[in-house]
């Protein structure tokens, strides 16, 4: 059963400008492993975190570090949630997330589906 759905789109040039102009932004948003990515991949991960928040009802108090985009052995992106994000997911009965990300044509995008067992 689908509990929530979120989507987000990020302009790559605006994202790059934001991280260049705002010291500490990358550290506030991304985990150490995520910070090793290039700006387009970071923008897609930012879109994924925003889409995840929307899929969870956009509650106040979620920590960006409590959601990390990692790659499965197949290369597919997946979400690992802990802390505040895991607590909100449990509150809603979410048992798994589905994530799709892309970056092309100057944009990065992500869609997250939050699913619960029937």
Rounded CA-CA distance 101/112 in Å is 9
Secondary structure letter of residue 93 according to DSSP = T
- CATH H-level superfamily of 2-82+99-115: 4'-phosphopantetheinyl transferase domain (3.90.470.20)
Secondary structure letter of residue 41 according to DSSP = H
Query: Could you read off the pLDDT tens digit of each residue along the chain, which spans 118 residues?
Result: 999 999 999 999 999 999 999 989 999 999 999 999 999 999 999 999 999 999 999 988 999 999 999 999 999 999 999 999 999 999 999 999 999 999 999 999 999 999 999 7
Rounded CA-CA distance 114/10 in Å is 21
**Confidence at residue 118, expressed as pLDDT on a 0 to 100 scale:** 78
| Angle at 74 (CA atoms; ends 72, 79), nearest 5 degrees | 25
Read off the pTM: 0.94
Domain edges within the chain:
2-82+99-115
């Amino acid at each position: 059963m689908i509990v929530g759905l979120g989507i987000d789109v990020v302009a790559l040039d605006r994202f790059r400008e934001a991280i260049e102009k705002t010291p500490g932004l990358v550290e506030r948003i991304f985990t150490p492993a995520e910070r090793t990515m290039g700006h387009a991949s970071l923008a897609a991960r930012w879109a994924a975190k925003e889409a995840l928040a929307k899929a969870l009802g956009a509650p106040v108090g979620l920590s960006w570090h409590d959601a990390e985009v990692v790659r499965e052995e197949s290369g597919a992106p997946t979400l690992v949630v802990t802390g505040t994000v895991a607590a909100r997911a449990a509150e809603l009965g979410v048992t798994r997330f589905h994530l799709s990300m892309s970056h092309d044509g100057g944009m990065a995008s992500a869609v997250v589906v939050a699913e619960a067992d029937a």
